[in-house]
Amino acid sequence: MDVQRAPRSVDHSLWRTRLGLAADRLRENWAAFVRARVGVIGLAVIIFYALLAAAHPVLMSTVWDESIYDPVVGYSFDETRQPAPPSLRHPLGTDPLGRDILSQLMFSARSEFMLGLLAAVVTVCIGTMVGAAAAYFGGIVDTILMRLADIMIMMPGISVLIVLSALIGVEHLELGLIIGVLSGFGGTGVVLKSQALSVVVKPYIQAARVAGGGPLHIILVHVVPNLLPLSFLYMMFTVTSAIFSEAVLSFLGLLDIRMSWGLMIHTTESAGYLTQVTEAWWLIFPASLSITLLCSSFYLVGRSLDEVVNPRLRRA
């Protein structure tokens, strides 16, 4: 066959076309996401908290005095009685130890995000690979991975964390990794495997094998991309469960962390204010509301993504 050279320009426009295509896809998906509505609300809440988290270090280095506003060791000397109700200086009041609640809230937001995203990324990386490998190889690989998944699912997460925190001291990083590994090898992996099973029987997988593609090529190029939509969805759900677990564990006082929303509630509880909702509402509402809001907004985003990736749910 005579090879006729294509002009060089084709090669350049090739990448431009590809970028254009990716942008088109993104635009289309965004439109579907916006149509689903709840996701946009969720996204707005998430952005709001992200801004709070980002603003904290800025405020600390400019207008907030470190000795007063530090979320852990600060103390408000202006107030005669601790906890103090909201005032101009302390828009959300102070806690029983005289620390500024708004500062605590903002400081914690950052670690909540880090925790959630870390857990989510770990979950999804492990989950897609586990699911794809179990579905593609089948046989003994599948059996081993699925028995492992059974163990992960049956293991009561909270009690494992209690034991671990007693043994090694669990901080945000460790917590994120543990939650990620548990759910990646466990539930998420199983769900993604069942999705992968419907992908690996497709003729295009066989076509890729006939072309000479090895297992790694097929898993990375054909199986994983077809799992991504679903794994994105599970990513959102993992964020929710990570934030929530952290809150529970902190509330129980099991984590070695400096400050978090769960810990704020824990402080309130140990000072005996937890039941006095009417007198010391500013101790309870900011943190608990934040946990609820952030968790549910990640969940809402997940649900809208579901509508985006699942064309059958899309409205005509």
Partner 1 sequence: MQTDGSRPLLRVDGLSKRFPVSPVWYRRSNSFVHAVDGVSFEVARGESFGLVGESGCGKTTTGKLLVRLMDPTCGRIVFDDGDEGPVDVSTLKGKPLKRFRRKAQMIFQDPYESMNPRRTVFDTIVEPLKVQRMGSHLDRLDRVLRMLGLVGLTPARTFLFRYPHELSGGQRQRVAIARAMVIEPSFVVADEPISMLDVSVRAGVMRLMEDLAARLEIGYLYITHDLAAARHTCSRIAVMYLGKIVEIGETETVLQSPKHPYTQALLSAVPVPDPTVTRPPVRIRGGVSPSLDPPARCRFYDRCPIADDFCRDNEHPPLQDKSSGQMASCYRV
Report the C-alpha dihedral over residues 193, 194, 199, 203, rounded to 10 degrees: 120
Q: Does 11 bind partner 1 (CB under 8 A)?
A: yes
Q: Does 303 bind partner 1 (CB under 8 A)?
A: no
How many Cα atoms within 13 Å fall on the side-chain side of residue 40? 9
Under DSSP, is residue 100 helix (H, G, I), strand (E, B) or coil? Answer: strand
Q: Does 222 bind partner 1 (CB under 8 A)?
A: yes
**Residue 52 neighbours by CB under 8 Å, 6+ apart:** 105, 106, 109
**Axis-axis angle for helices 261-270, 101-137 (nearest 10):** 130
Q: Which of residues 195-214 bind partner 1 (CB under 8 A)?
A: 202-204, 206-214
Nearer to partner 1 among residue 86 and residue 213 (C-beta): 213
Count of residues that interact with partner 1, criterion CB under 8 A: 32
Q: How far is the CB of 310 from partner 1 (least distance, A)?
A: 14
Distance CA 100, CA 179 (A): 30
Q: Does 3 bind partner 1 (CB under 8 A)?
A: yes
Binding mask 163-182 for partner 1 (x = CB under 8 A): --------------------
Q: Does 140 bind partner 1 (CB under 8 A)?
A: yes
Length of the chain: 316
Nearer to partner 1 among residue 63 and residue 211 (C-beta): 211
Cα 37 to chain centroid distance, Å, stands at 20
Supply 152's token pair.
């992960």
Q: How far is the CB of 214 from partner 1 (least distance, A)?
A: 8
Q: Which residues bind partner 1 (CB under 8 A)?
A: 1, 3-6, 8, 10-11, 14, 17-18, 21, 139-140, 143, 202-204, 206-214, 217, 221-222, 225-226
